[in-house]
Structure 1
Amino acid sequence: MPALYLSHGAPPLADDPVWPGELAAWSAALPRPRAILMVSAHWEEAPLALGATGQVPLVHDFWGFPEHYYRVRYDAPGAPALAASVRALLQAPGTPVQDIPDRGLDHGAYVPLVEMFPEADVPVLQISMPTLDPRRLMDIGRKLAPLRDEGVLIVGSGFFTHNLAALRHRGVPAWSAEFDAWGHEALASGDVDALLDFEAKSPSGRLAHPRTEHFAPLFVTLGAADATGDLTARREPVTGFWMGLSKRSIQFG
């Protein structure tokens, strides 16, 4: 299976005239996954945690939206076999893996999945990010890479630029456009070292990501791609901007 990083949007993504179709077309071109492993910007938990392996309510982790966004459901099957595989790959002496069985999918997971796999018929497991350190996240991705050979779609879900507080007017802010262009070039050239040090080496990096949790899932995806030599087998099925933020999304393999 490929490994993906996607910009997940907010609940109103469903009402956008373009973006849902882009996500649907992307998923239609993918091999059908046996299961989906989601790493979302909206779940930081250490040690690394495995979410629910049965159907539990979604985590509506947002405030101030119209009521209908809180009524969205995504009743995908749980993935207990995938949870066991993740535990076997990641758990080691001094590196525990915990279970949080009542933790449902947050909006970083289910908002894009509603558009990509609307039948909700593929088992989904969400795991937490135990750190925001890019190198440690890449190492986690490398350890998870064997799951790709078992038909598991590994998805890092964030937002290619993310600074809601700095969105002052209509249009694309310079900091968002600059970081998006820099990130595209770094990915195209395979400059993983620059990506790992994006806060220091990118233009407007600290404005594009004042807190790095929305870029961090990319490194799990990069690790899963690097372990199988897929960093050069890259495409970007979704580009452009939404409310001034880059929705650039990447597929490896």
Structure 2
Amino acid sequence: MPALYLSHGAPPLADDPVWPGQLAARSAALPRPRAILMISAHWEEAPLALGATETVPLVYDFWGFPERYYQVRYGAPGAPALAESVRKLLRAPGTPVQDIPDRGLDHGAYVPLVEMFPDAGIPVLQVSMPTLDPQRLLEIGRRLAPLRDEGVLIVGSGFFTHNLAALRHAGGGVPGWSAEFDDWGQRALAAADVDALLDFEHKAPAGKLAHPRTEHFAPLFVALGAAEGDPVGGRSVIDGFWMGLAKRSVQFG
């Protein structure tokens, strides 16, 4: 399986006239996964935590939206066998792995999955980000890479640019900082410039404005690490902007 970095949007993504179809087309172009391992910008927990391994309620981690967004359901099967594989790959002296069995999928996980695999028939396991350090996340991805040979789709779910506070003062359209970072990121990925990506806060134009906090870019490094050494590098499979933010999504491998 390849590894993916997805810009996941907010609950209103479902109402967009274009984006749901783009996500559906991406999933249709993939082999059907045996299971999905999801790393979302919306779950930071240290030490690294494994979420529910059976079907539990979703986490509606957003506020102020119409009631219908809180009625969305995604009853994907749990993935206990995948959880055990993740434990074996990641657990080591000084790097414990914990279980939080009642932690359901948050919107960074289920919002794109509803569009990509609407039948909810594929087992899903969400794991936390134990750090926002790109180099450490890259190493986690490297250690998870063997799962791809077992038919597991590894997905890092974030947003290619993410600064909601700056958007409130930008008016309509795409702000310059979002467009500049998106262009730089696309070129860095195409060139497989891992060093530049790891140091994006300093190397990218408007790096700290596009990501004043790095949690929405950080999942990229798990996917990147999981596919490191593949003959096929990162390629953009979705681009463009949504409410001023870059919705670029990338396939590795």
Give the superposition deviation at 1:231: 6.5
Corresponding residue of 1:52:
52
Measured in 2, the distance between the counterparts of 1:181 and 1:106 equals 29
Structure 1 residues 95 and 44: CA distance shift in structure 2, 3 A: same
SS, match of residue 82 in structure 1: helix
Corresponding residue of 1:185:
187
Unaligned runs of 5+ in 2: none
Measured in 2, the distance between the counterparts of 1:21 and 1:81 equals 31
Give the superposition deviation at 1:234: 3.1
Corresponding residue of 1:247:
247
Measured in 1, the distance between the counterparts of 2:236 and 2:117 equals 19
Corresponding residue of 1:119:
119
1:36-115 equivalences in 2 (<5 Å): 36-115=36-115
Measured in 2, the distance between the counterparts of 1:81 and 1:125 equals 10
Normalised TM-score (structure 2): 0.98
1:152-171 equivalences in 2 (<5 Å): 152-167=152-167, 168-171=170-173
Measured in 2, the distance between the counterparts of 1:15 and 1:245 equals 16
Measured in 2, the distance between the counterparts of 1:93 and 1:189 equals 36
Find out whether 1:19 has 2:19 as its counterpart: yes
Corresponding residue of 1:211:
213
Q: Is the 8 A contact 1:190 1:232 kept in 2?
A: no
Q: Is the 8 A contact 2:33 2:151 kept in 1?
A: yes
Q: Deviations over 1:89-128 (max 9, x none)?
A: 0001111000000000000000000000000000000000
Give the superposition deviation at 1:235: 2.4
Measured in 2, the distance between the counterparts of 1:188 and 1:159 equals 18
Corresponding residue of 2:35:
35
Unaligned runs of 5+ in 1: none
Measured in 2, the distance between the counterparts of 1:191 and 1:233 equals 10
Structure 1 residues 231 and 6: CA distance shift in structure 2, 3 A: farther
Q: Is the 8 A contact 2:201 2:207 kept in 1?
A: yes
Normalised TM-score (structure 1): 0.98
Give the superposition deviation at 1:230: 2.0
Q: Deviations over 1:55-103 (max 9, x none)?
A: 1100000000000000000000000000000000000111100000000
Structure 1 residues 27 and 101: CA distance shift in structure 2, 3 A: same
Q: Is the 8 A contact 2:190 2:235 kept in 1?
A: no
SS, match of residue 236 in structure 1: strand
Q: Which amino acid is 2:128 matched to?
A: S
Identical-residue share of aligned pairs (%):
82
Measured in 1, the distance between the counterparts of 2:150 and 2:7 equals 25
| Divergent runs of 4+, >4 A | none
Measured in 2, the distance between the counterparts of 1:86 and 1:235 equals 26
How many pairs were matched up? 251
Candidates 194, 200, 203, aligned match of 1:201: 203
SS, match of residue 41 in structure 1: strand
Q: Is the 8 A contact 1:27 1:117 kept in 2?
A: yes
Q: Which amino acid is 2:207 matched to?
A: G
Measured in 1, the distance between the counterparts of 2:230 and 2:238 equals 19
Q: Is the 8 A contact 1:133 1:216 kept in 2?
A: yes
SS, match of residue 126 in structure 1: strand
Q: Is the 8 A contact 1:190 1:231 kept in 2?
A: no
